[in-house]
Amino acid sequence: MSLRRLPIVPTLLVLAAAGYMIHLGLWQLDRLRQKEAMIARFTAAQADQTVHLWGAAGIPYSRVRLTCANGSAPAAVAGQNAARQAGWAHLVICDVVGGGRAEIVLGWSQRPEGVAWSGGVVTGTRIDRGQAGVRVIADPPLAGLQANARPDPRDLPNNHLSYAVQWFLFAATALVIYGLAVRKRIKG
């Protein structure tokens, strides 16, 4: 094969694209390590049964205590109980005494009908998601409801390895296809 017959610009473009795909695969491997470390931190926080006051609670899956005031009317959303049965999780969004807002998952029931809860002290597991930014799964449950499924940090999606493999395969596929195309062109 003569380098004269090798198309320079397309070759450089394919090599640059393949290089970038490899870079993205390596980035996903780095994200994999970061996610594994984050899940390990969350698992350690969940194992620590220390109850932190609202303002001092730093990381998700730690136990917190707060006082909920000015709560919204309880709403029912799809949820699971501690036995992983499908049903309804009842939640409120409230202003927290001391500052901030939180979405409180009061508990679980088989029926979506509203429950009565006017606020008060909540102890539970903090998760950083929800309409108010922070969700607290009440433990013990409130408003006469059953316990919700306990949040598990191992349920967080960690598919970075599969993404990395995809990027590496994309790069390999691009190089193989380009190599075959160049080979055909040179032979032709």
Task: Flag whether 151 is in a domain.
Answer: yes
Q: Which domain holds residue 61?
A: 37-155
Domain count, the chain: 1
- Distance separating alpha carbons of residues 80 and 109, to the nearest angstrom: 9
Task: Flag whether 20 is in a domain.
Answer: no
Task: Flag whether 8 is in a domain.
Answer: no
pLDDT band with cut points at 50, 70 and 90 for residue 105: very high
CB 117 within 8 Å of CB 143: yes
Task: Flag whether 144 is in a domain.
Answer: yes
Packed helices 160-187 and 8-47: angle between N→C axes, nearest 10 degrees: 170
Task: Flag whether 161 is in a domain.
Answer: no
Task: Flag whether 63 is in a domain.
Answer: yes
pLDDT in tens, 136-181: 999 999 999 999 988 888 888 899 999 999 999 999 999 999 999 9
pLDDT in tens, 169-188: 999 999 999 999 998 888 86
Mean pLDDT across the chain: 89
Task: Flag whether 47 is in a domain.
Answer: yes
The pLDDT score that the predictor gives to residue 132 is: 58
CB 70 within 8 Å of CB 97: no
Closest CA to 60 of 113, 141, 136: 136
Assess whether pLDDT exceeds 80 at residue 56: no
Alpha carbon separation from 57 to 29, 79, 83, 94, 180 (Å, rounded)? 30, 25, 28, 17, 58
Task: Flag whether 112 is in a domain.
Answer: yes
Q: What is the pTM of this model?
A: 0.74
